[in-house]
Structure 1
Amino acid sequence: MDKKLIAICGDAVEELRKLPDKSINLIVTDPPYNLNKDYGTNQDNLEFDEYLEFSRQWLKEAHRVLSDNGSLYVFMGMRYISYIYSILEHEIGMYFNSWITWYYTQGTGKTKGFSPRHDDILLFTKHHTKFVFNLDDIRVPQKFYRSVNNMRGANPGNVWEFSHMHYCNKNRQKHPTQKPEALYERMILASSNKGDTILDPFVGSGTLLRVCQQTDRLGIGIDNNPEYIKMTNERLNSPFTGFDSIDERMKRVPNDLNDAQIRIEYIQNHIKWFLAYHPDAINEFVEEVKRKYCNKLIESGQYALVDQLSKGRS
């Protein structure tokens, strides 16, 4: 395992207290939602006020260790999210930036009431204007090519659609709330730079450290379950073939790529821009290019060049 990736077994608050002030560039974490889930070493069932005090303690420590231009992304269930928001803004003094909705197509079924189909993620920053946000690194492909568009893509917005980590997914771990790697990919690329130190005080199955490993970041993960720390280390030592999930828009081929030179440059750039961490999606993208522009590729003599992209010979 890369020594720049550290998985610590211990209590989140206690381990956070050991970290120096302003030593972390970004925090991305999925803490317990207090929904009575079994996390092996503890049951997630604190009394209401106890849970808020627990949240208050770790959030204050998170704020202390965060750099002046750092950001915090925190997943949270609907019952407590307004309280977490209030703690961050009114008690700790962080600055609200975005309320992200992670939409998924399958979730818990209900017979009385509406079945949930989303989770929420709060983005707060330590400074109201001076914080890292790399929009170009997280853009999504445009629907149409227009010379006036930014062909690096569009802002992905605050509603993100990624599939749940279904039990049939080859990367599914024995963890009750494992999140898709592409969620963390977007947050980490947006709010940190290569070489930065990223922290997850509730690292669970190790998703954050796996994404840090592949995106050239330093990572610190904390969890009080030794089995999850073992799981994380095993995951970091496994071969990488691409992140286990993707925003389907990343494979989208813009319409109206009619100019031959623009078309070939865009296609090559698309793989670099949008599929750098998704090599297993390149073939699907190339096949869609050929389906959409087959005749034009043949006429311009570009068909063979495009075909090579999916074979790693570009």
Structure 2
Amino acid sequence: MNYNGLLCGDSDILLQQLINDGVKVDLVLTDPPYNLNKDFGNDSDKLSLEDFLNISRKRIALCRDMLKLNGSLIWFGIHHYIGFIQSIMYEVGLNYRRMNIWYYENGFSRLTTAPLTQYEPFLWFSKSPKKWTYNVDDVRVPYKSTERLKNPVYYKNSKGERVKWEPNPLGAMRGDVWAFPTLAGKLYQDEKTPHPTQKPESLITEIIKAYCPKNKDGLYEGIILDPFLGSGTLGVCCEKLNKQGHHIQWIGIELEKRWCDIAEERLSNL
């Protein structure tokens, strides 16, 4: 069976099949159901808390078993439950690296009894406690001020030595708050699909650039898995990078035929 590209089926079944067939990946990057009663065409987002945590534990364990030794798991969540998910990842033996925040200012809410939600967390855990991929220079961001680019800064290191720091010409290190707008309004109408929780390509591409392994020529060459592909954003981002000369393999699993069809259409239109 070809495990490169879109697989339309149940990830709870297909993940085990992939494991049985010896498939390993460098990165699991996924945006699973948050259990907020969204309509994905099934009841996957409408579970009791106990059932949600039990099935999340099984899915995270399967993803862990698919990771290569130096692989990482990126798991989107929501503030309601992210603490539970983080605990599960510790329990199954993964190694905490960081909780990142996807921050957006263009969200919308009709609720006036609580603050407007402007973020979604995504966890980063590694398989190994010592080795993982993070391409720091690939995801640098512009300095907020050009003044700091003019002169070096001196500081003392752990040994008490005076050390000169100079700004990196590629920009400042990215922090753990990733600011990307949601797909709201006319500006994103060409990218937006009917999928209720679609993530922007700009965000997913940046995450791929940060966590996908590279070859000796500096090209992305890892294998990436998304067990909840939705409308196909991960595949679209990977293929756009491949058109630039990279060599990313990806596996995307989606349960609902409606979203599989949309994903296939997006991929065919590249």
Quickly name the TM-score band, shorter chain normalised.
0.7 to 0.9
Equivalent residue number for residue 92 of structure 2:
92
**Structure 2 counterpart SS, 1:46:** coil
Q: Say if 1:141 and 1:151, in contact at 8 Å, map to a contact too.
A: no
4+ runs deviating over 3 angstroms: none
**How far does the alpha carbon of each residue in 1:254-302 deviate from its partner, in whole angstroms, 9 at most, with x for none?**
xxxxxxxxxxxxxxxxxxxxxxxxxxxxxxxxxxxxxxxxxxxxxxxxx
Give the structure 1 partner of residue 141 of structure 2. Answer: 140
State the partner residue of 2:104.
Answer: 104
- In structure 1, the gaps of 5 or more residues are 240-314
Give the paired residue count: 236
TM-score when scaled to structure 2?
A: 0.83
Counterpart selection for 2:268 from 226, 237, 242: 237
- The question of whether the paired residues in 1 share the 8 Å contact of 2:33 and 2:44 is answered with no
| 1:199-278 superposed matches below 5 A | 199-216=225-242, 217-239=248-270
Report the Cα distance in structure 1 between the residues aligned to 2:109 and 2:44, rounded to whole angstroms.
20
**Partners in 1 of 2:109 and 2:4 — Cα distance?**
34
Q: 2:81 is paired with a residue of what secondary structure?
A: helix
Structure 1 residue 40 displacement after superposition: 1.3
Letter paired with 1:233: E
1:158 to 162, 167, 176: 176
Aligned-pair identity (%): 35
Displacement of 1:180 after TM fit? 0.7
Give me the whole-angstrom Cα distance separating, in 2, the residues matched to 1:237 and 1:209: 11
Q: Distance in 1 between matches of 2:42 and 2:260?
A: 12
Give the SS at the match of 1:190: helix
| Equivalent position of 2:36 in the other structure | 35
Q: Larger Cα Rg: Structure 1 or Structure 2?
A: 1
**CA distance in structure 2 between the partners assigned to 1:55 and 1:43 by the alignment:** 11
Instruction: Determine the structure 1 residue equivalent to 2:221.
Output: 195
1:216-270 Cα shifts (integer Å, max 9, x gaps): 311110111011111111111113xxxxxxxxxxxxxxxxxxxxxxxxxxxxxxx
- In the TM superposition, residue 22 of structure 1 has moved relative to its aligned partner by 6.2
Q: Hey, which of these two has a bigger chunk of strand by percent?
A: 2
How far is 1:118 from its partner?
Answer: 0.8
What is aligned with 1:50? 51
More helix by share: 1
* Partner residue in 1 for 2:79: 78
Q: Give the deviation of 1:181 after TM superposition.
A: 0.9
Q: Is the 8 A contact 1:17 1:61 kept in 2?
A: yes
In structure 1, what is the equivalent of residue 120 of structure 2? 119
Any gaps of 5 or more consecutive residues in structure 2? Answer: 152-165, 214-219, 243-247
Q: Is the 8 A contact 2:136 2:174 kept in 1?
A: no
Partner of 1:63: 64
Contact 1:5/1:209 (<8 A) preserved: no
Cα separation, 1, equivalents of 2:39 and 2:185 = 17
Equivalent residue for 1:172? Answer: 192
Question: Which structure ranks higher in relative contact order (CA pairs < 8 Å, sequence separation ≥ 6)?
Answer: 2
Q: CA RMSD in A?
A: 1.6
- Summarize the Cα distance change of 1:43–1:16 in structure 2 as closer, same or farther, 3 Å threshold: closer
1:146/1:69 CA distance change after superposition, 3 Å? farther
Give 3-state SS (helix, strand or coil) of 1:215's partner.
Answer: helix
Deviation at 1:42, TM superposition (A): 3.3
Residue 187 of structure 1, CA deviation: 1.3
- 1:85 aligns to what SS in structure 2? helix
Q: How far does residue 67 in structure 1 lie from its aligned partner after superposition?
A: 0.6
In the TM superposition, what is the alpha-carbon distance from 1:4 to its structure 2 partner? 8.2
For 2:217, the equivalent position in structure 1 comes to: none
How far apart, in 1, do the equivalents of 2:88 and 2:255 lie?
24
The residue aligned with 1:19 is 18
1:115-144 Cα shifts (integer Å, max 9, x gaps)? 211111111111122111111111112232
